[in-house]
């Protein structure tokens, strides 16, 4: 679960979190990670996450095909499940649909949605379809299931860990720039509209005990890494030259762009090289090492080993 900033009003989110903390937990481990967790016995746990995609905020209906939107809406939710180190098993889908939208368009959206659900073996177990007086709103709750010992959390980074990412970064942010300039058909726009969430890699990394903290990159490395550092009460050094930048993107896209939906993880340094080799053998693509966890509680950006003065903040969806 991820709480986006709204209208710059972090106070609102803090107020909601404070209210949530005042309620009973009922065995759920709630707000703080990409998903809430419920242990269900037999060494297993369920995880839960919800995301809303609103027309005009998260997507422009004229820029994305119905099929792409159905695919993307599901992908961003499954990404949150994958980042916990477990497999998605089911989703609930609520569609709030403007009256002028043809039924055929919605059916196409559902085709994109179910194609991805089918690819990853995810059940569609419920939801709601309602009319919307205004824009299209897609709300998805995704449920994951896996072994409790496989769960990865943001608070598990340890001093000395290597910091890795699962793919090159920044393509989605670069694609968004194309979209906002009205160029909807570029290769980068296609990546922005069709993110490949790390469903298989997430479950695989979940099963590796040498992987400590994990989350998905939805707001940009500079912003998201801070969540791991804060939750784990540690610091980090990141070498700017080691950040893997996607083709067509800039380093700034990779650092501060949103919606990459790749994995950010920390791994025990002793097992770092072996993990990277195993990953590459399994997925035929590398993990990228870009820094290490320190005991300073500060995030330090290095430029060829020397501290950089760069001040970076994350992507805002609006």
Residues 122-161 that bind a copy of itself (CB under 8 A): 122-135, 137, 139, 141, 143, 145
* Measured distance CA(38)–CA(315) in Å, rounded: 30
Q: Taking CB under 8 A as the rule, does residue 218 contact a copy of itself?
A: no
Q: Taking CB under 8 A as the rule, does residue 7 contact a copy of itself?
A: yes
* Measured distance CA(150)–CA(43) in Å, rounded: 10
Q: Comparing C-alpha atoms, which of 53, 80, 52, 85 is closest to residue 142? A: 80
Q: Taking CB under 8 A as the rule, does residue 19 contact a copy of itself?
A: yes
Among 107, 149, 241, 270, the residue binding a copy of itself under the rule CB under 8 A is 107
Q: Taking CB under 8 A as the rule, does residue 59 contact a copy of itself?
A: no
Beta carbons of 47 and 203 less than 8 angstroms apart: no
User: Least distance from C-beta 228 to a copy of itself, angstroms?
Assistant: 18
Across the chain, where does the E strand assignment appear? 28-29, 36-41, 44-54, 87-98, 123-132, 137-147, 162-165, 211-216, 235-239, 263-267, 288-294, 299-303, 306-307
Among 67, 86, 92, 238, the residue binding a copy of itself under the rule CB under 8 A is 92
Among 57, 156, 245, 300, the residue binding a copy of itself under the rule CB under 8 A is 57
Among 66, 79, 82, 89, the residue binding a copy of itself under the rule CB under 8 A is 89
Q: Total residues contacting a copy of itself (rule CB under 8 A)?
A: 81
DSSP string covering 73-86, please? HHHHHHHHHHTTTS
Q: Taking CB under 8 A as the rule, does residue 294 contact a copy of itself?
A: no
Q: Taking CB under 8 A as the rule, does residue 212 contact a copy of itself?
A: no
Q: Taking CB under 8 A as the rule, does residue 216 contact a copy of itself?
A: no
């Amino acid at each position: 679960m991820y709480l986006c900033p709204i209208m710059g009003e972090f106070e609102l989110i803090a107020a909601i979190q404070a209210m949530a903390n005042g309620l009973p937990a009922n065995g759920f481990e709630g707000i703080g990670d990409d998903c809430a967790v419920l242990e269900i016995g037999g060494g297993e746990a369920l995880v839960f996450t919800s995301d809303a995609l609103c027309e005009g905020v998260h997507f422009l209906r004229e820029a994305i095909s119905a099929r792409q939107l159905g695919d993307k809406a599901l992908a961003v939710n499954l990404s949150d499940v994958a980042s916990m180190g477990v497999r998605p098993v089911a989703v609930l889908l609520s569609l709030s649909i403007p009256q002028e939208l043809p039924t055929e368009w919605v059916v196409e959206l559902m085709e994109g949605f179910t194609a991805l659900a089918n690819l990853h073996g995810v059940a569609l177990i419920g939801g709601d379809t309602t009319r919307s007086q205004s824009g299209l709103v897609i709300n998805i709750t995704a449920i994951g299931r896996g072994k409790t010992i496989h769960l990865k959390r943001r608070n598990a980074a340890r001093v000395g860990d290597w910091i890795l990412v699962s793919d090159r970064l920044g393509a989605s942010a670069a694609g968004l720039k194309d979209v906002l300039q009205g160029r909807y058909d570029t290769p980068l726009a296609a990546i922005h509209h069709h993110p490949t969430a790390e469903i298989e890699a997430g479950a695989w990394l979940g099963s590796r005990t040498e992987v400590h903290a994990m989350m998905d990159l939805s707001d940009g490395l500079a912003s998201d890494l801070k969540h791991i550092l804060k939750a784990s009460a540690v610091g980090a050094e990141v070498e700017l030259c080691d950040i893997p930048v996607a083709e067509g993107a800039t380093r700034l896209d990779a650092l501060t762009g949103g919606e990459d939906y790749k994995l950010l993880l920390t791994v025990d340094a002793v097992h770092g090289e072996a993990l990277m080799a195993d990953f590459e053998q399994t997925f035929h693509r590398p993990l990228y090492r870009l820094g290490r966890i320190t005991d300073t509680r500060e995030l330090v950006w290095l430029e060829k080993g020397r501290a950089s003065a760069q001040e970076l903040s994350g992507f805002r969806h609006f």
